[in-house]
Structure 1
Amino acid sequence: MTHPYSDAASHRLWRRGVSAFEANADPIVNFPFRISPSDKIVTAGGCFAPLIANRLQTAGYNFLVTEKAHPLLPEETAALFNYGRHSARYGSVHTARQLLQLLRRAYGRFEPIEDMWFEGDNKLVDPFRPLIQPDGFACIEEYRLDRAQHFAAVREAFETMDVFIYIFSMTECWENRKDGAVFPLCPGVAGGHFDESVHAFRNQDVGEVVADMTLFLEELREVNKDLRVILAVSPVQFIATGSDDHVLCASTYSKAVHRAACEAITKCDPAVAYFPSYEIIAGPQTRGRYFDDDLRSVTDAGVDRIMDLFFKHVTDEGAQWAASGNETRVEIGVKSEQVNYAARAQSLTKSLCDAVLLDLGG
């Protein structure tokens, strides 16, 4: 007897698509579009997003940076002030709601009530990017000028990019009860003061994530109609949860919500594609080999594996590479004038995963 599984392709069967390859299993089938080194690429997300941006730069891809440090500023100092980590100096954008509000704030459509935090007598912190200025801003005028420059850079990135890569990081966030403004970190962790009467914990479900991301894409296409979008789920696990659940269950919930949301969004929008970074790292085929000793951080080898498959399936050069039958690591489009990207990647990994601040105790 014949049935729909009789002649199923290998990638549809666990034994032939996963077990036969173990950690080298390739879960990507027919990625819907390709990008080229000339495409202007913008990334956003949590602490995993800068690692992807760094690898794109290493391979000679056009990672678009619209908010740049002064040319006389040393590279290490610029990195401390968050220049070059993301396309603009917006820091970590963990949730779809934060991403939507970033766009609306940049275009003057949303002005949060709680738009600055004061620390002592001489430190002012941006609630929506609390770690981008190590010692805070010296005064309100400096803060407002920097924010105006920042919003201009965000608008330029959104309007001129060809490809937007967003890596979902968390479903959990803290919001202002009055206007719903969401923060990348709980008030009091890296600035501000937590007030239970003002701040509320929110843990988004699938419907909320899909609604927020759909609105973001609709409003983004008002200024960039030909944009292609790649969605991914960060394989980095939670370091802490604001809920009463065990952190393992809370992290699993967040990953499941984001994976389901990505599926719903991509099914309705042909210009949006899903890249399975989470499955590549956290799938059972890896036996945990791509997680660091803390069981949540992704090793360099894990990032390498993600980017090997990204270049193979998502880039023009990767299509040529795959057709040649080459089985070695992808090394395409490398710039002749090399920046020390390895050192920069190490700095990115160690310095500004802002969620680390949630668990500094013993």
Structure 2
Amino acid sequence: MNPYQSLPARSFWRSAVAEPDPLAIDELWTPAFEIGQDDPVLTAGSCFAAHIGRALLERGMNWYDAEPAPPGLTEEERRARHYGVYSFRTGTIYTAAVLRQWLSWAFGRTTPPTGAWSEDGRYYDPYRPSVEPGGHASAEEMLAARGTTLAAIRDAVTEAGCLVFTLGLTEAWRDRADGTVLPSCPGTVRGTFDPERHVLHRFTFDEVYRDLAEAVALAREANPRLRVLLTVSPHPLTATATGDHVLTANTHSKSLLRTVAGQLTLDLDDVDYFPSYELITGIPFRSRFYAPNLREVTPEGVDFVMRHFMTALSRPTAGPRPDRTGEPSAEPKGGDTCDDAVLDYYRPR
């Protein structure tokens, strides 16, 4: 007897991945906790989080919009000004450090800088450079708008049942003047790049883990009942400033983020991981869910991910694995020199 003889079919590559139709692959996720139809759910993070929020709303879940659009805006205007994109108008949060930074500002642990970027007589928030594409009439107006978002974060986190956070990048630009982390490189979306002030930082495993753990702790001080569901964005890097080839830089970034997410689910209560990354990038799907640019996820891909999400929520939460006994009915096949290939002998048949 050995431990592999009692494992279910989902534990073996051939029966769980290689043999099924890719669209029929199932049971990638067993939720660690329930998310009820009426539980307020927050979404924040990288670009893929915007897909998750819309999909939850379309499926009748209680997606929490903490900063609803004012009346009179067209759909195009709402999207351009980041209304209804994420639960609060922080803009895209690519790194765990920026999530921790926003929560620290919202709950008064640190004070945000007051500087603004000016361009053609308009003022832009360095920490939300794309949220108001037309800018603000004054720096004071910009700071007031940011204050509205900080209040929305406080209210939403305090009331929410679950925060879904999508990890996106491990590269970011720091401001040497105050130590803050910027959401994008100055001089791209807005602002002016200063090589003496703006420095590239490539976050390590320990740094991402610390930032994400601190973000969870900050949120739970305000709401001890808050559960956290982590995902990793399947959108590859658009570009890397590390000097590496973008393909290897992307692998480094996503691997690190996936590892941090997995470790936190082991270390913290009521923190879970949903495999949206694997459902898009996994080998059996052969990039079928990517647009021709091999970066954007198609509507078919988003729907595929959300079907898995909703189906899993309808099942019981995680419990003991089923016990399957009995001897396998076939001999292991030759031709594979890897020692672990013999484990296929023990898969259920």
CA contact (8 A) 1:112 1:179 kept: no
CA–CA separation in structure 2 for the residues paired with 1:64 and 1:107: 19
Output the amino acid matched with 1:270: D
CA contact (8 A) 2:29 2:274 kept: no
Q: Which residue of 1 aligns with 2:250?
A: 251
| Deviation of the 1:319 alpha carbon | 2.8
Output the amino acid matched with 2:72: L
Aligned 1:177-188 pairs, distance under 5 A:
177-188=176-187
CA–CA separation in structure 2 for the residues paired with 1:276 and 1:150: 29
CA–CA separation in structure 2 for the residues paired with 1:225 and 1:213: 16
Aligned 1:1-362 pairs, distance under 5 A:
2-24=1-23, 25-113=25-113, 115-120=115-120, 122-314=121-313, 318-319=314-315
CA–CA separation in structure 1 for the residues paired with 2:26 and 2:53: 22
CA contact (8 A) 1:114 1:176 kept: no
| Deviation of the 1:250 alpha carbon | 0.7
CA contact (8 A) 1:177 1:199 kept: yes
CA contact (8 A) 1:175 1:183 kept: yes
Aligned length: 315
| Deviation of the 1:179 alpha carbon | 2.8
CA–CA separation in structure 1 for the residues paired with 2:196 and 2:125: 21
CA–CA separation in structure 1 for the residues paired with 2:241 and 2:42: 30
> Percent identity of the aligned residues?
37
SS of 1:244 mapped into structure 2: coil
Query: For 1:72-98, what per-residue CA distance to the aligned partner results, in whole angstroms no more than 9, with x for missing partners?
Result: 333332222111111111110000000
CA–CA separation in structure 1 for the residues paired with 2:93 and 2:260: 17
CA–CA separation in structure 2 for the residues paired with 1:247 and 1:105: 33
Residues 66 and 113 of structure 1: CA distance in aligned 2, closer, same or farther (over 3 Å): closer
Please identify the structure whose Cα radius of gyration is greater.
2
CA contact (8 A) 2:186 2:193 kept: yes
What is the RMSD computed on CA atoms of the aligned residues? 1.5
Query: For 1:294-339, what per-residue CA distance to the aligned partner results, in whole angstroms no more than 9, with x for missing partners?
Result: 112111111111000000112xxx239xxxxxxxxxxxxxxxxxxx
Which shows bigger deviation, 66-75 or 272-281? Answer: 66-75
SS of 1:174 mapped into structure 2: strand
| Deviation of the 1:212 alpha carbon | 0.5
| Deviation of the 1:154 alpha carbon | 1.2
Structure 1, unaligned runs of 5 or more: 321-362
| Deviation of the 1:113 alpha carbon | 4.2
SS of 1:214 mapped into structure 2: helix
CA–CA separation in structure 2 for the residues paired with 1:33 and 1:108: 30
CA–CA separation in structure 2 for the residues paired with 1:29 and 1:91: 28
CA–CA separation in structure 2 for the residues paired with 1:108 and 1:31: 33
Which shows bigger deviation, 74-83 or 21-30? Answer: 21-30
TM-score, normalised via structure 1 length: 0.84
Output the amino acid matched with 1:83: Y
Runs of 4+ in 1 over 6 A off after TM superposition: none
